């Protein structure tokens, strides 16, 4: 009978807990306690009662709220961010957000709005960002204007709007972003732009609107932070219309799915009569590029010619003397000299990445760029057996060089002698061929960051990293060490300034005890995804307060002698190790419980042994090993009682026997 | 509804372990059965969640392309304009979907498998901050997208056989935008 009841209790308990688990499916995800919640894709038709009143950020997209009104959100008075994307909202009735005084951002994207009441947006004291993307809007009169004094950005993309003219009473003093992407705006008039007059430093986005006409003088003496006419077919119209305007950044690129005409040089004549700092002409075809094409670009600081099908730039170009930043990515150059770098003597930033042909660096092609600070030559299939002094000749001010994702490069000692000012060098995923005992990075006195991930380096070369006194950040991910072992003598030992070291995916199985002894100020060590066991932890004994990532290694038990080394660190990640949760590892398990605040990813730090506890979080395991003091006490009492009973038994037995003699 | 099977598993083991530790009487067997019947429907309901229907993207010229959405949240529509064993360069497609994520950055992964062995894995950026290749780049979560236009592919002759292709569109956080299990039959 008792068993019956206990079974029923068990069943009741299980079914109850199973139910709570199923109902969790319907629950919002807590991203930040009492503040940020995500209730996306739950098919909810009201705000769940489980959400605390203190909620500040609510992601409520893809639910079902056909009508929203003053009772819908009334409880959540602390809301600052509310995302109602695609909630099938048709009606926004009066005073819907009346109690949301803190509301700052409201996202109503992709709701088939039929009507918004005059007081629908009243309540918030400082509503800054409004998203009405794809709400079926055809007129700006649709938006109630009463409470938009503090509006900074208004997003109206993918609607049926045909004029950017804001209603008379629409406040624009604080407006910084006005986004009309993918609408049906074909014409801009003086009146339209005048309605934006009181906005300063405005970014106006008209991407994906087929502008075919701009009334002459429309942009006369206007100032814009940025103007985006992306995908516009007729650039001549744009340049003519923008006469006498001042624009920080002008985006005129086009797209793969838009049939554009070839641009003739005469199109750019309009630039002579306007002031632009930065221009993008991405993906256009140029009919004829001559040395005269850019003569109106004199005041330009930045020019983006990405994917413009360029095979060559002519020499002797006039008008680009003052250019600071040039992007020539995704073009079709054969040789770096074909850009004729002498055209841009003031250049500080040059990006040529993702060239669609194998790029040959040549000799001294950039030698005229004395002021160059940043050079990006990644993803270009560059291959050379002797890099990089001839190729980077005279780039004595270069601070940042990106040669990642190229074909094999051969480096000799002092391979970057021509750029002694380098602070950042990225060679990731470019195979490096360095002869034994050579030191390619020698004399890079200022180099702070070096990315050598997946460079397939020969790490037995003790002089590989010589000459880097200032190096702070070294990434060696995916390189292999002889026999999977970092020995006491290794190329890292001389990097005295190193703070961040990444050795993940290096197939390491052991690190010698003194392998990092020369690295005294490291504060971030990533040894994840190797085959290390706890014995390698000793190599970190001289370091304190570091971030230590040991995730996905082969650590099973950690002997008590090594625990002080872990205790002195700031954060430790042990996720994905085959941790031992038996009594043989009890010291570590106790330590783990006491140092929870130091541990990262505890949700994924699981036991692998014993089989019964496989997959259980280490933090959930409680073992009782050995005999406790109470146990010992009871055992002694029991033994004493037993002894007394035995003595009595023997006594009675003997007495009984004597009586029968 | 999201699949939440993984966290459920330890709970099952706990249920079973507790029960099997008791001597096996009729009562505990009945209890175990009851627990099993109470909990398994909810889990199997999740496991065999109804899949999206298989659609035909194109058929003709000795080539048939079928696909099925592998995004548990939604289906999508795709049709390829000219179907042929000799796939022409720069094909035109039609594509309709609801965006579950912003696509300022959008990447495509292609994994091609034939007879159970992997032939090709490929990753390609479609939208990047510094190079938005298509006019739909930069559109927002929630937006409905219809794209009819070229995809800038390479021309290729498809040898006879059946191929499985896994196509995944995702953004910079690796959040799924679209996922398709496609079967290509060339005869």
Which residues of chain A neighbour B26 with C-beta distances below 8 Å?
none
Residue B115, C-beta contacts closer than 8 angstroms, at least 6 positions apart? B161
Q: Which residue of A has its CA nearest to B137?
A: A255
Q: Which helix (H) or strand (E) holds B108?
A: strand B106-114
Helix/strand/coil (H/E/C) assignment for every residue in A113-124? CCEECCCCCCCC
pLDDT for the residue A354: 96
**pLDDT of B23 strictly over 50:** no
Q: Which helix (H) or strand (E) holds A565?
A: helix A563-567
Beta strand A81-83 pairing with A105-107:
parallel
Q: Are the Cβ atoms of B138 and A181 closer than 8 angstroms? A: yes
Nearest-Cα distance to chain B for A512, in Å, is 37
* ipTM of predicted assembly, 2 dp: 0.85
Token pair of A515 as six digits:
């392998």
Q: Which sign, positive or negative, has the C-alpha torsion B69, B71, B76, B82?
A: negative
Q: Are the Cβ atoms of B2 and A257 closer than 8 angstroms? A: no
Q: Which residues of chain A have pLDDT under 50?
A: 1-25
pLDDT for the residue A634: 77
Nearest to B135 among A4, A257, A282 (CB): A257
Nearest to B134 among A14, A22, A256 (CB): A256
Nearest-Cα distance to chain B for A7, in Å, is 6
Residue whose token pair is 């003397």:
A321
pLDDT for the residue A628: 63
As a whole number of angstroms, the distance between CA A457 and CA A467 comes to 17
pLDDT for the residue A59: 96
**pLDDT of B20 strictly over 50:** no
Q: Collapse the DSSP code of A133 into the 3-class scheme (helix H, G, I; strand E, B; otherwise coil) and give the result.
A: coil
Token pair of B129 as six digits:
């901050």
Residue B116, C-beta contacts closer than 8 angstroms, at least 6 positions apart? none
As a whole number of angstroms, the distance between CA A125 and CA A148 comes to 9
Nearest to A117 by CA among A82, A155, A91, A86: A91
Q: How many C-beta neighbours within 10 Å does residue A183 have? A: 23
Which residues of chain A neighbour B137 with C-beta distances below 8 Å?
255
Which of B132, B142, B149 is the best substitution to test chain A (most A C-beta atoms within 10 A)?
B142
pLDDT for the residue A276: 96
- Distances in Å between the Cα of A421 and the Cα atoms of A67, A200, A341, A424 are 62, 40, 21, 9
Nearest to A180 by CA among A221, A220, A239, A139: A139
Per the CB < 8 A criterion, the answer to whether A298 and A321 are in contact is yes
| Alpha-helical segments (H) within chain B | 5-21, 26-47
Residue B149 contacts A where some CB pair is shorter than 8 Å: yes
Which residues of chain B neighbour A231 with C-beta distances below 8 Å?
135
pLDDT for the residue A649: 86
A429 Cα distance to chain centroid: 20
pLDDT for the residue A22: 37
Q: Are the Cβ atoms of A109 and B31 closer than 8 angstroms? A: no
Per the CB < 8 A criterion, the answer to whether B111 and B150 are in contact is no
Residue B144 contacts A where some CB pair is shorter than 8 Å: yes
Chain B residues 57-86 with a CB less than 8 Å from chain A: 73
| Alpha-helical segments (H) within A170-273 | 190-194, 235-241
pLDDT for the residue B50: 75
Beta strand B63-69 pairing with B55-60:
antiparallel
Instruction: List the beta strands (DSSP E) in A69-207.
Output: 81-83, 91-92, 105-107, 115-116, 129-131, 153-155, 177-179, 187-188, 202-205
Residue B25 contacts A where some CB pair is shorter than 8 Å: yes
Nearest to A11 among B31, B141, B152 (CB): B31
pLDDT for the residue B29: 45
Nearest to A85 among B142, B149, B152 (CB): B142
- How does pLDDT run across B168-184, given as a tens digit for each residue? 999 999 999 999 999 99
pLDDT for the residue A629: 66
As a whole number of angstroms, the distance between CA A516 and CA A538 comes to 10
Nearest to A39 by CA among A53, A54, A24: A24
Nearest to A424 by CA among A460, A398, A450: A450
Burial level of A204, CB count in 10 A (0-12/13-18/19+)? buried
Which residues of chain B neighbour A3 with C-beta distances below 8 Å?
25, 27-28
- How does pLDDT run across B58-99, given as a tens digit for each residue? 999 899 999 999 999 999 999 999 899 999 999 999 999 999
Q: Are the Cβ atoms of B17 and A327 closer than 8 angstroms? A: no
Q: Collapse the DSSP code of A407 into the 3-class scheme (helix H, G, I; strand E, B; otherwise coil) and give the result.
A: coil
Per the CB < 8 A criterion, the answer to whether A556 and A580 are in contact is yes
Q: Are the Cβ atoms of B15 and A14 closer than 8 angstroms? A: yes
pLDDT for the residue A2: 43
**pLDDT of B32 strictly over 70:** no
Per the CB < 8 A criterion, the answer to whether A439 and A415 are in contact is no
Q: Collapse the DSSP code of A510 into the 3-class scheme (helix H, G, I; strand E, B; otherwise coil) and give the result.
A: strand
- Distances in Å between the Cα of A18 and the Cα atoms of A632, B8, B13 are 40, 9, 13
- Distances in Å between the Cα of A87 and the Cα atoms of A45, A74, A611 are 9, 18, 47
- Distances in Å between the Cα of A595 and the Cα atoms of A547, A581, A609 are 14, 16, 21
Q: Are the Cβ atoms of B34 and A11 closer than 8 angstroms? A: yes
Residue B17 contacts A where some CB pair is shorter than 8 Å: yes
- How does pLDDT run across A363-410, given as a tens digit for each residue? 999 999 999 999 999 999 999 999 999 999 999 999 999 999 999 999
Residue whose token pair is 């770096």:
A336
Nearest to A25 among B1, B35, B138 (CB): B1
Q: How many C-beta neighbours within 10 Å does residue A1 have? A: 5
As a whole number of angstroms, the distance between CA A105 and CA A88 comes to 19
Q: Are the Cβ atoms of A62 and B147 closer than 8 angstroms? A: no
As a whole number of angstroms, the distance between CA A508 and CA A500 comes to 18
Sequential DSSP letters for A194-223: HTTTT--SEEEE-TT----EE-TTTTTT-E
Nearest-Cα distance to chain B for A254, in Å, is 8
């Amino acid at each position: 009978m008792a068993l019956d009841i206990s079974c029923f209790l068990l069943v009741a308990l299980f079914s109850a807990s199973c139910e709570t688990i199923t109902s969790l499916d319907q629950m919002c995800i807590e991203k930040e306690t009492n503040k940020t919640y995500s209730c996306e894709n739950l098919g909810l038709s009201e705000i769940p009662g489980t959400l605390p009143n203190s909620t500040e950020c609510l992601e409520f997209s893809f639910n079902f709220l056909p009508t929203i009104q003053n009772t819908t959100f009334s409880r959540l008075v602390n809301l600052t961010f509310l995302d109602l994307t695609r909630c099938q909202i048709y009606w926004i009735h009066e005073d819907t957000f009346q109690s949301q005084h803190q509301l700052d951002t409201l996202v109503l994207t992709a709701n088939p709005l039929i009507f918004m009441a005059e007081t629908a947006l009243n309540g918030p004291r400082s509503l800054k960002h409004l998203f009405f993307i794809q709400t079926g809007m055809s007129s700006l009169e649709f938006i109630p204007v009463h409470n938009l004094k503090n509006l900074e950005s208004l997003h109206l993309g993918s609607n049926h709007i045909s004029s950017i003219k804001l209603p008379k009473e629409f406040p624009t003093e604080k407006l910084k972003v006005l986004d009309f992407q993918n609408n049906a705006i074909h014409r801009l008039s003086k009146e339209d732009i005048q309605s934006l007059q009181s906005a300063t430093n405005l970014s106006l986005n008209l991407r994906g609107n087929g502008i075919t006409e701009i009334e002459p003088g429309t942009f006369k003496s206007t100032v814009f932070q940025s103007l985006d006419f992306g995908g516009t077919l007729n650039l001549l119209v744009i340049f003519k219309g923008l006469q006498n305007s001042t624009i920080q950044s002008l985006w005129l690129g086009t797209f793969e799915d838009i049939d554009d005409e070839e641009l003739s040089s005469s199109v750019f004549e309009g630039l002579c009569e306007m002031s632009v700092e930065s221009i993008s002409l991405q993906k256009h075809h140029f009919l004829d590029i001559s040395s005269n094409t850019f003569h109106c670009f004199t005041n330009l600081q930045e020019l983006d010619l990405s994917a413009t099908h360029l095979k060559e730039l002519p020499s002797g170009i006039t008008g680009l003397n003052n250019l600071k930043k040039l992007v020539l990515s995704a073009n079709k150059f054969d040789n770096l000299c074909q850009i004729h770098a002498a055209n841009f003597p003031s250049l500080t930033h040059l990006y040529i990445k993702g060239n669609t042909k194998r790029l040959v660096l040549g000799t001294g092609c950039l030698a005229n760029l004395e002021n160059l600070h940043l050079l990006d030559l990644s993803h270009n299939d560059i291959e050379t057996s002797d890099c990089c002094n001839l190729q980077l000749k005279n780039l004595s001010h270069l601070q940042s060089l990106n040669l990642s994702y190229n074909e094999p490069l051969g480096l000799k000692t002092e391979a970057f002698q021509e750029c002694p000012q380098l602070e950042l060098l990225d060679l990731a995923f470019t195979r490096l061929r360095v002869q034994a005992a050579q030191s390619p990075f020698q004399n890079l006195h200022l180099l702070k960051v070096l990315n050598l991930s997946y460079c397939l380096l020969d790490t037995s070369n003790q002089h590989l990293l010589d000459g880097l006194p200032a190096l702070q950040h070294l990434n060696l991910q995916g390189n292999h060490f002889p026999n999977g072992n970092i020995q006491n003598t290794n190329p890292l030992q001389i990097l005295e300034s190193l703070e961040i070291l990444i050795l993940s995916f290096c197939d390491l199985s052991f690190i010698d005890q003194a392998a990092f002894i020369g690295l005294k100020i490291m504060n971030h060590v990533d040894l994840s995804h190797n085959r290390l066991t706890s014995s390698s932890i000793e190599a970190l004994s001289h370091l304190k307060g570091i971030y230590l990532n040991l995730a996905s290694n082969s650590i099973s038990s950690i002997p008590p002698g090594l625990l002080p080394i872990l205790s002195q660190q700031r954060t430790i990640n042990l996720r994905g190790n085959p941790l031992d949760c038996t009594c043989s590892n009890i010291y570590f398990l106790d330590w783990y419980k006491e140092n929870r605040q130091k541990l990262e990813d505890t949700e994924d730090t699981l036991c692998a042994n014993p089989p019964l506890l496989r997959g259980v979080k280490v933090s959930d395991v409680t073992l009782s090993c050995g005999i406790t003091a109470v146990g010992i006490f009871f055992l002694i009492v029991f033994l004493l009682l037993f002894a007394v009973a035995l003595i009595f038994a023997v006594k009675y037995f003997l007495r009984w026997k004597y009586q029968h003699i | 509804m999201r699949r939440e099977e993984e966290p459920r598993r330890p709970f099952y083991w706990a249920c079973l372990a507790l029960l099997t530790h008791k001597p096996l009487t009729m009562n505990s067997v009945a209890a175990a059965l009851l627990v099993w019947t109470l909990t398994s429907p909810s889990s199997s309901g999740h496991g065999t969640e109804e899949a999206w229907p298989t659609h035909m993207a194109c058929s003709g010229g000795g080539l048939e392309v079928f696909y099925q959405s592998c995004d548990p949240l939604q289906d999508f529509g795709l049709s390829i304009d000219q179907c042929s064993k000799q796939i022409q360069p720069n094909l035109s497609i039609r594509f309709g979907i609801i965006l579950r994520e912003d696509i300022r950055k959008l990447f495509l992964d292609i994994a091609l498998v034939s007879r159970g062995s992997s032939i090709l894995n490929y990753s390609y950026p479609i939208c990047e901050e510094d190079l938005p290749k298509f006019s739909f780049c930069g559109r927002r979560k929630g937006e409905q997208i219809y794209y009819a236009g070229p995809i800038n592919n390479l021309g290729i002759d498809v040898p006879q056989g059946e191929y499985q292709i896994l196509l995944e569109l995702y953004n910079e956080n690796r959040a799924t935008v679209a996922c398709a299990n496609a079967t290509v039959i060339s005869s």
